């Protein structure tokens, strides 16, 4: 991954930092859900995407409202 190879160097400007942090928070929430429900990451991602799509929410919205990803 970019993070493993380059650390923070690849996301120097504020726009990249915000984008990365938003996506990172979504990924962390999905990982936690997968662990808590003893399911694969792929299954958790699919559930999250189904919910997001059904509710017509953006990834930006989910990043700001992590608690609603699996509602």
Write the DSSP assignment of the chain as a string of letters. Answer: -HHHHHTTGGG-SHHHHHHHHHHHHHHHHHHHHHHHTT--HHHHHHHHHHHHHHTT--HHHHHHTGGGTT-
CB–CB of 69/49 below 8 Å? no
One pLDDT digit (tens) per residue for the chain, 71 residues: 656 776 666 556 777 777 778 888 999 999 999 999 999 999 999 999 999 999 999 999 999 999 999 98
Residues in the chain, total:
71
* Per-domain boundaries in the chain: 13-68
């Amino acid at each position: 991954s970019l993070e493993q190879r380059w650390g923070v160097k690849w996301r120097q400007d504020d726009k990249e930092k915000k984008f990365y942090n938003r996506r990172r928070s979504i990924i962390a929430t999905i990982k936690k859900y997968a662990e808590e429900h003893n399911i694969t990451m792929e299954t958790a991602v699919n559930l999250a995407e189904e919910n997001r799509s059904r509710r017509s929410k953006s990834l930006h919205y989910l990043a700001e409202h992590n608690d609603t990803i699996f509602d």
